[in-house]
Amino acid sequence: MADTAPRQAAPETMLSVNNIEVVYDDVILVLRGVSLEVPKGQIVTLLGANGAGKSTTLKAISGLLKTEDGEVTRGTVTFDGETISNQDPEKIVRKGIFQVMEGRRVVEDMTTIENLRLGAFTRRDKNVRRDMDMVMDYFPRLKERAGGLAGYLSGGEQQMLAIGRALMARPRMLLLDEPSMGLSPLLVKEVFGIIESINRDQGLTMLLVEQNASQALKLADYGYIMESGKVVLDGTQEELLSNEDVKESYLGGGEQRRSFKNLKSYKRRKRWL
């Protein structure tokens, strides 16, 4: 939404995931009761190690689970008060949720411009071109490579294209699956900076799944931490950043005085387990 008012004190909830359980292939239980809420206009981040179930959560929201033989067996996903769990992904897109998939997945054989047009697939209005200019303003690198094949873009540029393509759909909410994957630290900074400014300018609601916890927490208003299919901790940006356990397990550092000498006696202490 281009013209939303600045953030309100208590924004309404846009997306809520209520205690969902996800099973793949009718046998593999991946999510064991995950709940989270994304308020309108905010960035919420979902952190966790590999295999914690972050991407599965996103897929449960966007409907992609279906194509991978997964199913939400318990609980519901509601978007704007409407239940969307187990619906077809193309229907969910039309409701305004757009997922930027892990690993970019731009169409290599198309030019940058064509990829952007593809993002606007669900739209029938005349403003596509104006939005394309907007995307080019956010990502000046894409402007330089506008007519070139997307397959020849660098990894970072492809990631920018994937985000730009998502913006072209004028989504009401963006699901970002590891936008930092495979990018150099500098580029991660650049991409995250742009993500933040998109959120700030347009009030676009985002759910951000990340491995790079410190970067993600810098721009998120609220965060959830997942481990083995469950949300184990949640809190505002400040709460998570100051939490000793989060510092130790995800941010590095933690209590300063610990030295590597007593590494043997080092015991991971996670209060939530």
Question: By the criterion CB under 8 A, which residues form the site for another protein?
Answer: 62, 64, 67, 89-90, 93-94, 98-99, 101, 105, 107-111, 113-114, 117-119, 121-122, 129, 132, 146-147, 165, 169
What's the token pair of residue 17?
A: 């995931």
Residue 65 · residue 56 · CB < 8 Å: yes
> Nearest distance from residue 165's CB to another protein, in Å?
8
Q: What is the 3-state secondary structure (H, E, C) of 73-94?
A: EEEEEEECCEECCCCCHHHHHH
Nearer to another protein, 77 or 132 (CB): 132
Residue placing its CB nearer to another protein in the complex, 31 or 120:
120
Shortest distance, position 9 Cβ to another protein, whole Å: 33
Helices (H), the chain: 54-62, 89-95, 112-119, 128-138, 140-144, 155-168, 185-202, 213-219, 237-242, 244-246
Closest to 137 in 3D by CA, of 66, 182, 200, 198: 198
Smallest separation (angstroms) from another protein to the CB of 119: 6
Q: How far, in Å, CA of 90 to CA of 124, rounded?
A: 15
Q: Which is nearer to another protein, 129 or 270 (CB)?
A: 129
Nearer to another protein, 101 or 194 (CB): 101
Q: In whole angstroms, give the CA distance from residue 153 to residue 51.
A: 29
User: Which of residues 29 and 146 has its CB atom nearest to another protein in the complex?
Assistant: 146
Task: Record the tokens describing residue 171, joined without a space.
Answer: 């989504």
Return the number of the residue (99 or 205) whose C-beta is nearest another protein: 99
Q: How far is the CB of 71 from another protein (least distance, A)?
A: 17
Q: Distance of CA 265 to CAs 64, 246, 248, 260, Å?
A: 44, 20, 16, 10
Q: What is the closest distance, in whole angstroms, from the C-beta atom of residue 122 to another protein in the complex? A: 4
**Nearest distance from C-beta of residue 224 to another protein, angstroms:** 22
Residue 247 CB contacts under 8 Å (≥ 6 apart), including other chains? 241, 253, 254
Nearer to another protein, 49 or 146 (CB): 146
State in angstroms the smallest separation of the CB of 40 from another protein. Answer: 22
Partners of 46 in the β-ladder: 209, 224
Q: Distance between terminal CA atoms of the chain?
A: 40
